[in-house]
Structure 1
Amino acid sequence: MKGALTQTETAIAAIWAEVLGLDVITRSDDFFELGGDSLLATKVVVRIRRAWSVRCTVQLIIDTPVLSEFAAAVDELAGTRG
């Protein structure tokens, strides 16, 4: 997965980095492999809901734990692309 991050990927990467206490998140990173768990996923979901006004769920992170896939799913919920 090469290329620049989309706006959504960049914004979600910043949320993940803050929640997980990491400096760098890439498009191919997996939330759970980075140390995420269901409690941290809940924190991410709350921030996503506030930022995009979408009905994001913890199940969405479980189903699409890779940043690029999760961001695409959030874009789909929001009716946007990137």
Structure 2
Amino acid sequence: MSTDVNLLSKGLIRLGVLVLFFIASPVIITMGFKALNKFTEAPKIYLAYALILVGLGCLIFTMIFAFKTFGILRNAIFTSK
């Protein structure tokens, strides 16, 4: 049982990007809900709904990206060559 260093470095880079997505997704959703409370006029309220949808899409992508990243890290650490 040995560690694949190249795959581990790829996984750690993806883990750093994942941390940024973990921070950005809730911030975007929060901005959308705050904009929804502030804006009442028709053109601006669409921006609030768009922010909420983008945030939810980013959240779903973050979960998928997390599963793939942890799969890469698992394969890098528990490789049997």
Q: What TM-score results when the alignment is normalised by the length of structure 2?
A: 0.28
Q: Which has the larger radius of gyration?
A: 2
1 or 2, which has the higher helix percentage?
2
Larger RCO: 1 or 2 (CA < 8 Å, sep 6+): 2
**TM-score (norm. length: structure 1):** 0.27
